Amino acid sequence: MIGVECGEMTVDEQIALASAISDGLAGKAVALINGTRIVLDALSGEPSPDEVMEIVKGFASRRKDSAEWSVEASEGSIVVHSSDPLSRSRGRKDTGQLLPDNLFKCPFCPFVTPYEELYVVHYRSHGFA
């Protein structure tokens, strides 16, 4: 099964990408969002990975911030990267679960760090043990 990893995209961007994939496959398959991944549900034949890759690349190139996006194939899936995943997370109403695994985000303010010890000290500075 072909999947598109798009964890660095906002939810609205993920929905737009899934819609573009479904439209581009024209009835072969439907793109569905599953967490931070888009999976394809085949309707009338399995689409080729190259076909899906071209649709995703076309979607990324039509954006006004297309220079910040890259698309690559990786171990049976397609991965969409942002040049700055932290800026993609700004404005989200989450607690950092959509950030890369090596970063910790404070649920009370915009503080982000790759160091767990520093995160714990910062978290406690908000008055919670």
Q: What percent of the chain has pLDDT over 90?
A: 15
Judging by DSSP bridges, how do beta strands 77-82 and 3-5 pair with one another? parallel
Q: Quick one: pLDDT at residue 98?
A: 58
Strands (E), 23-128: 29-34, 37-42, 69-74, 77-82, 104-105, 112-113
Asked if residue 60 and residue 37 are part of one domain, the reply reads: yes
88 forms bridges with which residues in the sheet? Answer: none
Query: What domain range is 96 assigned to?
Result: 92-125
Split at pLDDT 50, 70, 90, the class of 121 is: very high
Q: Quick one: pLDDT at residue 19?
A: 92
Is residue 52 a contact partner of residue 40, using CB atoms and an 8 Å limit?
A: yes
Report whether pLDDT(123) > 80: yes
- For residue range 50-62, what is the model confidence (pLDDT) as tens digits? 898 999 999 888 8
Asked if residue 71 and residue 99 are part of one domain, the reply reads: no
Asked if residue 68 and residue 9 are part of one domain, the reply reads: yes
Question: Residue 71 carries which side chain, given as an amino acid letter?
Answer: V
Model confidence pTM above 0.75: no
What number is the average pLDDT over the span 92-116?
Answer: 74
Q: Quick one: pLDDT at residue 81?
A: 82
Rounded CA separation 40/22 (Å)? 9
Mean pLDDT, the chain, rounded, equals 81
Q: Is 17 exposed, middle or buried (0-12, 13-18, 19+ CB in 10 A)?
A: buried
Q: Total structural domains in the chain?
A: 2
Asked if residue 106 and residue 67 are part of one domain, the reply reads: no
What number is the average pLDDT over the span 69-83?
Answer: 82
